[in-house]
C-alpha cells in the first residue's frame, strides 16, 4: 500500500512538472499544486505537498525498506514462483 501511494505521488509530480514546462512556453501558470494548494490555504501547504512528493520520489528511486513493503515484496516473489511452478 505505501509503495502504491508513492507511485501515484511520483506520477502526479511528473505530470505537474510537465505542465509547468508547457505553461512556461505559453506564459501560463499551469502548476497544479500551486493552483490547488495556494487557493486553499497558504504557501506552507504547497511546500508540504512538494516535500511529500519529493520523499515519494526518493522512496521510489531507492526503494522502501520498511517491514510492510518487505513483506509485500516477499509475497509477490512467492506468487511469481508459484506461477512458474504451475506452468
Domains contained in the chain, number: 1
Inform me whether the pLDDT recorded for 85 exceeds 60. Answer: no
Judge contact between 31 and 37, C-beta under 8 A: no
* Residue 29 near residue 35 (C-beta atoms within 8 A): yes
Span 62-77, mean pLDDT? 66
Full residue range of the structural domain in which residue 73 is found: 2-86
pTM of the model: 0.64
| Tens digits of residue pLDDT in 11-68 | 989 999 999 999 999 999 888 888 877 666 667 788 888 899 999 888 888 876 777 6
Q: Of 66, 50, 81, 75, which is closest to residue 3 (Cα–Cα)?
A: 66
Three cell numbers written together for 31: 502548476
Amino acid at each position: 500500500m505505501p509503495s502504491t501511494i508513492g507511485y501515484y505521488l511520483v506520477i502526479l509530480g511528473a505530470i505537474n512538472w510537465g505542465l509547468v514546462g508547457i505553461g512556461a512556453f505559453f506564459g501560463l501558470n499551469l502548476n497544479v499544486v500551486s493552483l490547488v494548494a495556494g487557493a486553499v490555504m497558504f504557501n506552507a501547504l504547497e511546500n508540504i505537498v512538494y516535500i511529500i512528493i519529493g520523499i515519494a520520489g526518493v522512496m521510489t528511486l531507492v526503494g522502501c525498506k520498511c517491514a510492510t513493503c518487505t513483506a509485500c515484496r516477499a509475497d509477490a516473489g512467492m506468487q511469481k514462483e508459484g506461477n512458474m511452478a504451475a506452468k
